[in-house]
Amino acid sequence: MGDITAKQCQIFTDSLKIWFSKNQRPLPWKGQKDPYLIWLSEIILQQTRVEQGLPYYNKFITAYPTVHDLAAAPDDEVMKMWEGLGYYSRARNLLATARFISKELKGVFPRTYKEVRALKGVGDYTAAAIVSFAYSLPHAVLDGNVYRVLSRYFGIHTPIDTTGGKKEFTELASRVLDKKIPEQHNQAIMDFGATHCKPKKPLCNSCLLKSSCHAFQQGEVNLLPIKSKKMKRKTRHFIYFCVKDPHHIYIRRREGKDIWKHLYEYPMLEVAEGTEISQNILQNSELWQQLFEGQTPVLENISPPYKQTLSHQTIIAKFVNVFISRELEAKKWGLLKIEPKKMENFAFPKIISCFLNDKTLYLRLD
Ligand code: SF4
């Protein structure tokens, strides 16, 4: 860091400004000054590509044009609206924060970085984005795009996933920030990273910055940025019991600290890797014994495995169709008893939605 001069920083900032004047992406939240809409767009865009987040943003601002509208929405309605976007803790935090702003702050969005950073679901990056876009405060954003652009352009080899790396890149992002127009600068560096200095196949040959870019000059474009650890993903195996009586299906809301909190699912059995899914194993499981006590359930079929990859876990699920002639004591086992046509009112993890869509196809073909 000590080696990077003020002049180098200035050249970078000026070049970026020129690039942005010719290449910025027109998006509905750009130039927006309403902090509620900015906050909404930033939460939706966390870990999400712009193309994927855009329809959700439009859906949300239509349904909830103000923070009070969002605060008044039922939990299940918001979860359903979020369905398919993933990282569902964002939707829960979104609601908690909307209710806090609506009730405690009387609908007035906080104005300082510290206050915005203290909101549930708002980290360093999101707080910097909100206060720079809404209030033109000089806070530099630092997300995956910014790490990549800075590490390549300035040739920084410090791993980005270390405390030292975070500190170094935070300082540099602040040094290159154009403090007169922080909102434009932040948008520019993120757009540049997302569309030009991309993770794979960056557009170096047509790049305005190539003559002063370290990575391009030194042939290190594919090496930077550096990460120290390879993320390990654990694999979990779920067996879902799709229990049907002549009129109902049984589902439950996920609670606790595990994945998919507040989404819905079938009663589920988690088994160790390598467990052979036989009729015997299923019928001797505690879940089966509890649910079907005093009944004679018919195990109709078992689906092939479905797979969903999350950031830290891979889920493999099989779906077991079970028919019972009498209703279950749903409440006793924390289940909801619903008519099949009401299934569309509930938000499910993607792996269950895939199974449901496949099943519709299967029923039609049958
Ligand atoms: S020359 Fe390539 S690596 Fe360097 S800033 Fe431009 S796109 Fe990124």
CB of residue 215 inside a 6 A radius of ligand 1: yes
State the Cα–Cα distance between residues 13 and 23, nearest whole angstrom: 15
Residues 209 and 247 in one domain: no
The answer to the question of residue 224 being in a domain is no
Residues 283 and 339 in one domain: yes
Residue 359's pLDDT is 60
pLDDT for 276 equals 80
Name the residue of 203, 212, 214, 217 to mutate for ligand 1: max ligand atoms within 8 A of Cβ.
203
* Cα 73–chain centre separation: 21
Domain count, the chain: 2
Distance CA 227, CA 162 (A): 8
Q: Classify strands 234-244 and 313-323 as parallel, antiparallel or unpaired.
A: parallel
Low-confidence ranges of the chain (pLDDT < 70): 1-2, 359-366
Last residue of a domain, one of 188, 218, 248: 218
Ligand 1 centroid to Cα of residue 222, in Å, is 10
**Same domain as 175, residue 113:** yes
Residues 33, 105: one domain? Answer: yes
**Residue 360 belongs to domain spanning:** 234-365
Residue 21 domain-assigned (yes or no): yes
Q: CA-based angle 95:100:104, to the nearest 5? A: 160
At how many degrees (to 10) do helices 163-176 and 6-23 cross?
70
User: Residue 88 maps to which CATH number?
Assistant: 1.10.340.30
Ligand 1 centroid distance, CA of 29 (Å): 27
- Shared domain for 209 and 253, answered yes or no, is no
Asked if the structure places residue 183 within a domain, the reply is yes
* 1 belongs to a structural domain: no
88 touches ligand 1 (CB under 6 Å)? no
Angle at 239 between CA 283 and CA 233, to 5 degrees: 145
**What is the 3 state secondary structure string of 263-284?**
CEECCEEEECCCCCCCHHHHHH
214 & 74 share domain: yes
Give residue 3's pLDDT.
Answer: 83
Burial class of residue 114 (count of CB atoms within 10 Å of its CB; 0-12, 13-18, 19+) = exposed
**Quick check: is 307 in a domain?**
yes
pLDDT at 2: 52
Same-domain status, 183 and 91: yes
Whether residues 165 and 267 fall in one domain: no
Which helix (H) or strand (E) segment holds residue 314: the answer is strand 313-323
Contact present, 88 and 82 (Cβ < 8 Å): yes
pLDDT for position 236? 95
pTM of this structure: 0.78
Torsion sign (Cα): 154, 160, 165, 166? positive
Residue 339, domain member (yes or no): yes
Query: Which own/partner contact pairs does 52-60 have at CB distance under 8 Å and 24+ positions apart?
Result: 52/85, 53/85, 54/27, 54/28, 56/81, 56/82, 56/85, 57/28, 57/29, 58/28
Do 207 and 87 lie in one domain? The reply is yes
Q: Contact, 349 vs 309, CB < 8 A? A: no
- Last residue of a domain, which of 218, 244, 263? 218
192 alpha carbon – ligand 1 mean position (Å): 9
**Would 229 be classed as within a structural domain?**
no
Whether residue 214 is found in the same domain as residue 242 = no
Element (H, E) at 103: none
With the most atoms of ligand 1 within 8 angstroms of its CB, the residue from 19, 205, 213 to mutate is: 213
Output the domain CATH number for residue 293.
3.90.79.10
- 286 and 212 within one domain: no
Judgement on whether residues 191 and 240 belong to the same structural domain of the protein: no
Give the residue, by CA position, lying nearest to ligand 1 atom 2: 204
The residue from 154, 184, 218 where one domain ends is 218
Closest C-alpha among 96, 89, 98, 80 to residue 39: 98
d(CA 79, CA 87): 11
Is 35 part of a structural domain of the chain? Answer: yes
* Residue 265 contacts residue 349 (beta carbons within 8 Å): yes
